[in-house]
Homo-oligomer: A and B are copies of this chain.
């Protein structure tokens, strides 16, 4: 049986260097608060007020800086802000809606794209991918047992220098009744 950890991604944002400097000033560096499971990634101390057509949310930055600013929301969050993002894989930002303004201590950034709801995905190490014969981009399923058992279909495998884990957003975790990280049974 292929048991895989399930991690819950709360809403967060990745920020470009240019946007970070516009928000917090030239040469600004993110302050790492907590290491995340994916190598090199960290939750930053910085949270940003993100203002949409309908509402506002305070959203934490996940570092390090990336090429493009990307806001990852759950559908619940999108409704609060009043935006209509698409289900996308991280980094696939072409023609995604923006419609939000980021407020920093030194300035604001109005986005014109980059708001997504992350498609559920499996980060998988090259070793595990080889062992389980999973190819990059392949769709797999996973069962989460518990008080609200669910089988998540269409989980996109991303093979790379990753720690093997399924990433769900908060809506998906709540639907499965997961209060903290858990294990799922992978079906390839």
A positions within 8 Å CB-CB of B: 74-76, 87, 119-120, 143, 147-154, 170-172, 174-177
Q: How far is the CA of A75 from the CA of B143 in the complex (A)?
A: 20
Contact across chains for A174 and B74 when beta carbons are under 8 A apart? yes
In the complex, besides A76-B171, A143-B153, 4 extra interface pairs with C-beta distance below 8 angstroms are A120-B148, A171-B175, A172-B174, A172-B175
Q: Closest 6 interchain pairs by CB?
A: A175-B175, A171-B174, A75-B174, A149-B153, A151-B151, A172-B175
Provide the residues of chain B in CB contact with A75, threshold 8 Å: 174, 177
Q: Which residue in chain B gives the minimum CB-CB distance to A139?
A: B149
Residues of B within 8 A of A176 (CB): 175
A148 and B150 alpha carbons, distance in the complex (Å): 12
Chain B neighbourhood of A175, CB < 8 A = 150, 171-172, 174-176
